[in-house]
Amino acid sequence: SPGSAAMEQGSHAIVEGNGGPGLATGIFTDLQKMKEKIKEDMAKPQYDVTNFYREKGVCQAIARSGIFEKVTLTIIAINAGWISYDTDNNKADTLLTANPQFQIAEHAFCVYFSLELYIRFRAFKRKRNCLK
């Protein structure tokens, strides 16, 4: 079509637009440069928060634990379900006036997530690395 036809020639794209045909100047117009960029990105080490944890200690051992990770993800999923249940069934305006089941559940989630945060924070060798 006259407004936006593109054809491939060598490693550059020819673009036909309102101003006539010309070389595209996008970020990956050169195939070799694109391959090099992909290789560089693949060679970079993947970010892993556990690289900043201590080597010894109870908190780092718990934070590195696969069981801890799975339990936390399960609690997050349960909390998401609980939020929908709470939204549909809790008619109280505040937590203090809600039925005990809603208060207990909210406090239980708060305690678990606070404990998780405490454990993960204590696992860091240098505390400022938790901001990376």
Q: Is 113 exposed, middle or buried (0-12, 13-18, 19+ CB in 10 A)?
A: middle
Per the model's pLDDT, the better-predicted residue between 106 and 126 turns out to be 106
Q: Is this model's pTM higher than 0.85 or not?
A: no
- pLDDT tens digits for range 85-109: 999 999 999 999 999 999 999 999 9
- pLDDT tens digits for range 22-36: 555 555 567 888 888
Residue bearing tokens 């549909």: 88
Spatial contact of 64 and 51, defined as CB atoms under 8 Å apart: no
